[in-house]
Chains A and B, each alone.
Chain A
Amino acid sequence: MTQEFATRLIGEIPYARTLGIRVDFSEDTLLLILPYQKSNIGNPTLPALHGGAIGGFMEVCALAELRRRSPKLPFSKPIGVNIDYLRRGNPVETYARADIFKEGSRVANVRVRAWQDNEDEPIAALSGHFLLPKTL
Protein backbone atom coordinates (compact mmCIF):
# COMPACT_ATOMS: atom_id res chain seq x y z
CA MET A 1 0.00 0.00 0.00
CA THR A 2 1.22 3.46 -0.88
CA GLN A 3 -0.11 6.98 -0.44
CA GLU A 4 -0.89 6.98 -4.16
CA PHE A 5 -2.97 3.80 -3.89
CA ALA A 6 -4.77 5.09 -0.80
CA THR A 7 -5.63 8.37 -2.55
CA ARG A 8 -6.89 6.49 -5.62
CA LEU A 9 -8.93 4.12 -3.42
CA ILE A 10 -10.81 6.99 -1.77
CA GLY A 11 -11.03 8.92 -5.06
CA GLU A 12 -12.87 5.95 -6.59
CA ILE A 13 -15.81 6.43 -4.20
CA PRO A 14 -18.14 9.24 -5.36
CA TYR A 15 -19.73 9.45 -1.88
CA ALA A 16 -16.29 9.97 -0.30
CA ARG A 17 -15.64 12.81 -2.75
CA THR A 18 -19.02 14.35 -1.83
CA LEU A 19 -17.96 14.39 1.83
CA GLY A 20 -14.54 15.76 0.81
CA ILE A 21 -12.60 12.87 2.38
CA ARG A 22 -8.81 12.86 2.05
CA VAL A 23 -6.39 10.17 3.09
CA ASP A 24 -2.94 10.01 4.64
CA PHE A 25 -0.93 6.81 4.54
CA SER A 26 2.22 6.86 6.62
CA GLU A 27 4.03 4.44 8.95
CA ASP A 28 1.80 1.67 7.62
CA THR A 29 -1.30 3.37 9.03
CA LEU A 30 -4.32 4.62 7.13
CA LEU A 31 -5.65 7.92 8.45
CA LEU A 32 -8.79 9.42 6.94
CA ILE A 33 -9.34 13.16 7.02
CA LEU A 34 -12.69 14.93 6.74
CA PRO A 35 -11.83 18.57 6.02
CA TYR A 36 -14.33 21.10 7.28
CA GLN A 37 -16.80 22.01 4.58
CA LYS A 38 -20.08 23.84 5.03
CA SER A 39 -21.98 21.12 3.14
CA ASN A 40 -21.24 18.64 5.98
CA ILE A 41 -23.01 20.78 8.60
CA GLY A 42 -26.09 19.31 10.30
CA ASN A 43 -26.93 22.12 12.71
CA PRO A 44 -26.19 25.56 11.26
CA THR A 45 -27.00 27.46 14.49
CA LEU A 46 -24.39 25.75 16.69
CA PRO A 47 -22.78 25.03 14.14
CA ALA A 48 -22.10 21.28 14.26
CA LEU A 49 -21.29 18.56 11.73
CA HIS A 50 -24.15 16.26 10.67
CA GLY A 51 -24.20 12.99 12.61
CA GLY A 52 -24.83 11.20 9.33
CA ALA A 53 -21.75 12.75 7.73
CA ILE A 54 -19.62 11.61 10.70
CA GLY A 55 -21.19 8.14 10.50
CA GLY A 56 -20.66 7.95 6.75
CA PHE A 57 -17.07 9.13 7.17
CA MET A 58 -16.38 6.33 9.69
CA GLU A 59 -18.04 3.77 7.41
CA VAL A 60 -15.79 4.80 4.50
CA CYS A 61 -12.85 4.50 6.92
CA ALA A 62 -13.80 0.91 7.80
CA LEU A 63 -14.27 -0.03 4.13
CA ALA A 64 -10.91 1.52 3.16
CA GLU A 65 -9.09 -0.33 5.95
CA LEU A 66 -10.61 -3.66 4.81
CA ARG A 67 -9.85 -2.90 1.17
CA ARG A 68 -6.17 -2.27 1.83
CA ARG A 69 -5.84 -5.85 3.08
CA SER A 70 -6.94 -7.17 -0.31
CA PRO A 71 -6.51 -4.31 -2.80
CA LYS A 72 -7.38 -6.46 -5.84
CA LEU A 73 -10.81 -7.42 -4.50
CA PRO A 74 -13.87 -5.15 -4.46
CA PHE A 75 -15.07 -3.30 -1.35
CA SER A 76 -16.65 -5.17 1.56
CA LYS A 77 -20.32 -4.58 2.34
CA PRO A 78 -21.62 -3.33 5.67
CA ILE A 79 -23.94 -5.82 7.43
CA GLY A 80 -24.67 -3.84 10.56
CA VAL A 81 -23.07 -0.84 12.23
CA ASN A 82 -23.44 0.73 15.62
CA ILE A 83 -22.54 4.41 15.96
CA ASP A 84 -22.07 6.20 19.27
CA TYR A 85 -21.97 9.98 19.27
CA LEU A 86 -19.73 11.14 22.11
CA ARG A 87 -19.11 14.85 21.55
CA ARG A 88 -20.39 17.56 19.27
CA GLY A 89 -18.69 17.60 15.87
CA ASN A 90 -17.24 21.10 15.69
CA PRO A 91 -16.79 22.80 12.31
CA VAL A 92 -13.12 21.82 12.06
CA GLU A 93 -11.10 19.01 10.46
CA THR A 94 -12.03 15.50 11.66
CA TYR A 95 -9.88 12.35 11.59
CA ALA A 96 -10.70 8.64 11.65
CA ARG A 97 -8.77 5.44 12.01
CA ALA A 98 -10.09 1.87 11.82
CA ASP A 99 -9.03 -1.25 13.70
CA ILE A 100 -9.93 -4.71 12.49
CA PHE A 101 -10.94 -6.47 15.70
CA LYS A 102 -11.58 -9.83 14.13
CA GLU A 103 -11.31 -11.07 10.59
CA GLY A 104 -13.01 -14.36 9.84
CA SER A 105 -13.42 -16.13 6.53
CA ARG A 106 -16.63 -14.30 5.63
CA VAL A 107 -17.09 -11.49 8.12
CA ALA A 108 -14.86 -8.87 9.71
CA ASN A 109 -15.56 -6.89 12.86
CA VAL A 110 -14.21 -3.36 12.60
CA ARG A 111 -13.97 -0.51 15.13
CA VAL A 112 -13.53 3.08 14.02
CA ARG A 113 -12.74 6.14 16.12
CA ALA A 114 -13.30 9.72 14.93
CA TRP A 115 -11.73 12.72 16.63
CA GLN A 116 -10.86 16.35 16.08
CA ASP A 117 -8.28 18.08 18.31
CA ASN A 118 -7.31 15.16 20.49
CA GLU A 119 -7.30 11.49 19.55
CA ASP A 120 -8.03 10.61 23.20
CA GLU A 121 -11.25 12.62 23.08
CA PRO A 122 -13.20 10.95 20.25
CA ILE A 123 -16.31 12.69 18.93
CA ALA A 124 -17.79 9.40 17.67
CA ALA A 125 -17.11 5.69 17.44
CA LEU A 126 -18.39 3.00 15.09
CA SER A 127 -18.34 -0.76 15.45
CA GLY A 128 -19.67 -2.95 12.74
CA HIS A 129 -19.71 -6.23 10.87
CA PHE A 130 -18.73 -6.25 7.20
CA LEU A 131 -19.16 -8.99 4.62
CA LEU A 132 -15.77 -9.64 3.04
CA PRO A 133 -15.48 -9.44 -0.77
CA LYS A 134 -14.18 -13.00 -1.24
CA THR A 135 -17.65 -14.24 -0.33
CA LEU A 136 -19.51 -11.81 -2.64
Chain B
Amino acid sequence: MSRFIQKLWEIAPTLVNGTPHASELGMKFVAIDKGIATLSLPYNSALIGDPRSRVIAGGAVTTLLDQACGLAAISGFDGLAQLATLSLRIDYQRSAEPGEMIIAEAECYKTTRHVAFIRAIAHDGDPDDPVATAQSTFILTGPVHKMPNLGTQEEGGTE
Protein backbone atom coordinates (compact mmCIF):
# COMPACT_ATOMS: atom_id res chain seq x y z
CA MET B 1 0.00 0.00 0.00
CA SER B 2 1.45 3.39 -0.96
CA ARG B 3 2.02 6.08 1.67
CA PHE B 4 -0.71 8.13 0.03
CA ILE B 5 -3.30 5.37 0.41
CA GLN B 6 -2.10 4.72 3.96
CA LYS B 7 -2.54 8.42 4.72
CA LEU B 8 -6.03 8.34 3.15
CA TRP B 9 -7.05 5.44 5.42
CA GLU B 10 -5.93 7.57 8.38
CA ILE B 11 -7.77 10.72 7.40
CA ALA B 12 -10.80 9.49 5.40
CA PRO B 13 -13.00 8.79 8.46
CA THR B 14 -12.31 12.37 9.64
CA LEU B 15 -12.94 13.74 6.14
CA VAL B 16 -16.43 12.19 6.27
CA ASN B 17 -17.26 12.86 9.95
CA GLY B 18 -15.76 16.36 9.69
CA THR B 19 -18.21 17.22 6.88
CA PRO B 20 -21.16 18.61 8.85
CA HIS B 21 -23.82 17.64 6.31
CA ALA B 22 -22.42 14.11 5.86
CA SER B 23 -22.45 13.50 9.62
CA GLU B 24 -25.91 15.10 9.91
CA LEU B 25 -27.28 12.45 7.52
CA GLY B 26 -25.36 9.72 9.38
CA MET B 27 -22.89 8.84 6.63
CA LYS B 28 -20.03 6.46 7.48
CA PHE B 29 -16.64 5.84 5.90
CA VAL B 30 -16.19 2.22 4.77
CA ALA B 31 -13.10 1.86 2.58
CA ILE B 32 -10.67 3.65 0.29
CA ASP B 33 -8.05 2.72 -2.30
CA LYS B 34 -6.36 4.46 -5.21
CA GLY B 35 -9.26 6.07 -7.11
CA ILE B 36 -11.90 4.09 -5.19
CA ALA B 37 -14.05 5.04 -2.20
CA THR B 38 -16.91 3.31 -0.37
CA LEU B 39 -19.31 4.99 2.06
CA SER B 40 -22.49 3.87 3.78
CA LEU B 41 -25.69 5.58 4.84
CA PRO B 42 -27.69 3.69 7.51
CA TYR B 43 -31.47 4.00 7.22
CA ASN B 44 -32.84 6.82 9.31
CA SER B 45 -36.40 8.14 9.43
CA ALA B 46 -35.07 11.73 9.15
CA LEU B 47 -34.08 10.89 5.55
CA ILE B 48 -37.52 9.77 4.35
CA GLY B 49 -38.60 11.46 1.12
CA ASP B 50 -42.03 9.91 0.70
CA PRO B 51 -44.01 9.59 3.94
CA ARG B 52 -46.39 7.01 2.41
CA SER B 53 -43.77 4.50 1.31
CA ARG B 54 -41.11 5.51 3.91
CA VAL B 55 -38.56 5.35 1.09
CA ILE B 56 -35.45 7.47 1.65
CA ALA B 57 -35.33 10.77 -0.32
CA GLY B 58 -33.55 10.87 -3.66
CA GLY B 59 -31.66 13.86 -2.28
CA ALA B 60 -30.12 11.79 0.52
CA VAL B 61 -28.90 9.25 -2.06
CA THR B 62 -27.62 12.18 -4.16
CA THR B 63 -25.64 13.48 -1.18
CA LEU B 64 -24.18 10.05 -0.40
CA LEU B 65 -23.09 9.63 -4.03
CA ASP B 66 -21.65 13.17 -4.15
CA GLN B 67 -19.62 12.52 -1.00
CA ALA B 68 -18.37 9.13 -2.25
CA CYS B 69 -17.46 10.60 -5.66
CA GLY B 70 -15.55 13.44 -3.97
CA LEU B 71 -13.57 11.00 -1.83
CA ALA B 72 -12.80 8.82 -4.86
CA ALA B 73 -11.65 11.94 -6.73
CA ILE B 74 -9.27 12.89 -3.90
CA SER B 75 -7.79 9.41 -3.97
CA GLY B 76 -7.62 9.60 -7.78
CA PHE B 77 -5.20 12.52 -7.61
CA ASP B 78 -1.73 11.65 -6.33
CA GLY B 79 -2.04 13.80 -3.23
CA LEU B 80 -4.45 15.59 -0.96
CA ALA B 81 -6.43 18.34 -2.63
CA GLN B 82 -9.48 20.56 -2.25
CA LEU B 83 -12.19 19.79 -4.79
CA ALA B 84 -15.59 21.09 -5.83
CA THR B 85 -18.38 19.23 -7.64
CA LEU B 86 -18.92 20.49 -11.19
CA SER B 87 -21.61 18.12 -12.37
CA LEU B 88 -23.51 15.18 -10.97
CA ARG B 89 -25.80 12.90 -12.96
CA ILE B 90 -27.94 10.39 -11.08
CA ASP B 91 -30.21 7.70 -12.48
CA TYR B 92 -32.60 6.13 -10.00
CA GLN B 93 -33.10 2.52 -11.02
CA ARG B 94 -35.47 1.60 -8.22
CA SER B 95 -36.60 2.69 -4.75
CA ALA B 96 -34.29 1.85 -1.88
CA GLU B 97 -35.76 -0.74 0.49
CA PRO B 98 -37.08 1.08 3.59
CA GLY B 99 -34.98 0.06 6.61
CA GLU B 100 -31.96 -1.01 4.59
CA MET B 101 -28.54 0.66 4.73
CA ILE B 102 -27.34 2.17 1.45
CA ILE B 103 -23.78 1.65 0.25
CA ALA B 104 -22.11 3.92 -2.32
CA GLU B 105 -19.11 2.72 -4.30
CA ALA B 106 -17.32 5.32 -6.40
CA GLU B 107 -14.50 4.94 -8.91
CA CYS B 108 -12.42 7.80 -10.24
CA TYR B 109 -11.44 6.44 -13.67
CA LYS B 110 -9.63 9.50 -15.01
CA THR B 111 -7.93 12.61 -13.73
CA THR B 112 -6.50 15.46 -15.75
CA ARG B 113 -4.54 18.47 -14.43
CA HIS B 114 -7.75 20.09 -13.19
CA VAL B 115 -10.63 17.63 -13.43
CA ALA B 116 -11.57 14.20 -12.06
CA PHE B 117 -14.14 11.91 -13.73
CA ILE B 118 -16.01 9.50 -11.48
CA ARG B 119 -18.73 6.89 -11.77
CA ALA B 120 -20.55 5.45 -8.81
CA ILE B 121 -23.34 3.13 -7.77
CA ALA B 122 -25.57 3.08 -4.71
CA HIS B 123 -27.03 -0.25 -3.59
CA ASP B 124 -28.67 -1.76 -0.54
CA GLY B 125 -26.77 -5.01 -0.36
CA ASP B 126 -26.43 -6.34 -3.89
CA PRO B 127 -24.11 -4.30 -6.15
CA ASP B 128 -25.65 -6.07 -9.16
CA ASP B 129 -29.05 -4.58 -8.33
CA PRO B 130 -28.24 -0.90 -7.70
CA VAL B 131 -30.67 1.67 -6.33
CA ALA B 132 -28.95 4.39 -8.36
CA THR B 133 -25.99 4.95 -10.67
CA ALA B 134 -24.08 8.21 -10.94
CA GLN B 135 -21.56 9.97 -13.11
CA SER B 136 -19.78 13.09 -11.90
CA THR B 137 -16.96 15.54 -12.52
CA PHE B 138 -14.96 17.41 -9.87
CA ILE B 139 -12.56 20.32 -10.28
CA LEU B 140 -9.49 21.11 -8.21
CA THR B 141 -9.91 24.31 -6.23
CA GLY B 142 -6.37 24.33 -4.81
CA PRO B 143 -2.95 22.70 -5.20
CA VAL B 144 -2.42 18.93 -4.94
CA HIS B 145 -0.23 18.20 -1.91
CA LYS B 146 1.89 15.24 -2.96
CA MET B 147 3.09 12.76 -0.36
CA PRO B 148 6.88 12.60 0.03
CA ASN B 149 8.45 9.42 -1.43
CA LEU B 150 5.16 8.59 -3.09
CA GLY B 151 6.90 7.54 -6.30
CA THR B 152 9.24 5.03 -4.68
CA GLN B 153 6.63 3.40 -2.45
CA GLU B 154 3.87 3.17 -4.99
CA GLU B 155 2.09 -0.18 -5.25
CA GLY B 156 3.67 -2.56 -7.73
CA GLY B 157 7.03 -2.19 -5.96
CA THR B 158 10.40 -3.29 -7.32
CA GLU B 159 10.45 -6.97 -6.47
Contact = CB atoms under 8 A, between A and B. Distances in A.
Interface of A: 12-19, 38-44, 48-53, 55-57, 59-60, 63, 74-75, 77-85, 88
Contacts of B85: 51, 83, 85
Interface in B1-51: 18-22, 24-25, 45-51
A78 B66 contact: no
Nearest to B25: A18
A77 B52 CA distance: 13
A52 B62 contact: yes
Nearest to B53: A74
A113 to B, nearest CB: 15
A15 B52 contact: no
B87 interface: yes
A52 B92 contact: no
Contact of A38 (B20, B48, B57): B20
A92 B80 CA distance: 28
Contacts of A16: 57
A56 B84 contact: no
A110 to B, nearest CB: 13
Nearest to A47: B20
Given A15-B57, A56-B57, A82 B87 contact: yes
A59 B59 contact: yes
Interface residues of B, number: 37
B64 interface: yes
A97 B116 CA distance: 30
B92 A80 contact: yes
A34 to B, nearest CB: 11
Nearest to A41: B20
Contacts of B115: none
A48 B56 CA distance: 25
B95 interface: yes
Given A40-B24, A51-B66, A63-B49, 19 more contacts: A14-B48, A14-B49, A14-B51, A15-B46, A15-B47, A15-B48, A42-B20, A50-B21, A50-B63, A51-B63, A52-B65, A53-B59, A77-B92, A78-B58, A80-B92, A81-B89, A83-B62, A83-B89, A85-B85
B60 A88 contact: no
Interface string B52-91: 1000111110111111000000000000001011111111
Contact of A52 (B18, B21, B51): B21
B113 to A, nearest CB: 19
A13 B20 contact: no
Contacts of A78: 58, 90, 92
A39 B21 contact: yes
Contact of B88 (A18, A55, A63): A55
B51 A13 contact: yes
